[in-house]
Structure 1
């Protein structure tokens, strides 16, 4: 009798895992034409999304450091049309989305490509080799590619957060 309960419990656990997998963004499918999407950084799809920086102790203005390991950016699908300015639209031809960070320091603008994804839920690592401000803000841009009629970038403000 105990064996039957354990088998039933395993069956329920497997069924529950299958439901979760079907509901996850990774199971959302491929990026294609005429789809709405949002950008996500470290599990945050709304601004500001934090990027943890390896800047320890007292930090002076203008100091830079490296992102902590294990951070990422991804593209998540949206179910319906929206006119929000920070939401993207793939337009008539896109089959992927390119992800970049735009870091501005005075008149200097750096565009840092992170990667291109063809599937929703694909996590693009934020390299620990990048040199970024210890504190401040930047913009993550999620650009449909190839760009076509009606295509619109998704944007997300990110905050660089040094460690105490």
Structure 2
């Protein structure tokens, strides 16, 4: 029979071995997801992109449009959807926005803007903002969401993202 100190040593060794086996599995699972980034203040002379629901391409906003729907019908976005701006580091392979020499915030909205109430103001990168459910948006088709750096300057450049609308009421 094994003595008490020997049993304790075996138990410790087994615990250490199990922990060592789990570390790669946990690390692999975390690497499969997007890394979490702390918000960063928007500053001048920074390249950026805009996202809707985490996508910088093929973005979709889900809309509720009950009743008969025509090509001019509008409805409200479903809750829980987001828009975001992310800084990008040159060299930039796709055209992005640029805050220019003065930009300290980015305003996002649909073009042409219907009202200032339908804008989202960002002061930080990597800080998703909820798309308001009070917005009126098309029940189908696409529109352009524009991310505009403010205050503007001669070197500032907006970023545009084509967004599709999907009506869940049908």
TM-score category (smaller protein) = 0.7 to 0.9
* 2: CA distance, partners of 1:83 / 1:94: 22
Kindly tell me: are residues 12 and 150 of structure 1, through their superposed partners in 2, closer, same or farther at Cα, counting changes over 3 Å?
Answer: same
1:113-152, aligned counterparts within 5 Å? 113-152=118-157
Per the alignment, in what secondary structure is the counterpart of residue 16 of structure 2? helix
Describe the superposition over 1:143-163 as per-residue Cα deviations: whole angstroms up to 9, x where unpaired.
112222301111111111112
Residue pair 2:98, 2:155 contacting (<8 A) in 1 also = yes
Map 1:102-113; keep pairs closer than 5 Å: 102-103=111-112, 110-112=114-116, 113=118
1:27 Cα deviation from its structure 2 partner:
3.1
CA RMSD of aligned residues (A): 3.1
In structure 2, what is the equivalent of residue 106 of structure 1? Answer: none
SS of the residue corresponding to residue 4 of structure 1 reads helix
Counterpart-to-counterpart distance in 1, 2:30 and 2:42? 22
Confirm or deny: 8 A CA contact 1:101 1:111 kept in the other structure: no
**What TM-score do you get using the length of structure 1 for normalisation?**
0.75
Secondary structure of the equivalent of 1:27? coil
Aligned to 2:43: 32
Unaligned runs of 5+ in 1: 104-108
CA–CA distance in 2 between the matches of 1:117 and 1:17? 31
Residue 129 (structure 1) shift: 1.7
* Rounded Cα–Cα distance in structure 2 between residues aligned with 1:12 and 1:119: 33
State the number of aligned residues: 156
Which protein has the larger Cα radius of gyration, Structure 1 or Structure 2? 2
Q: TM-score, normalised by structure 2?
A: 0.73
Deviation at 1:63, TM superposition (A): 2.1
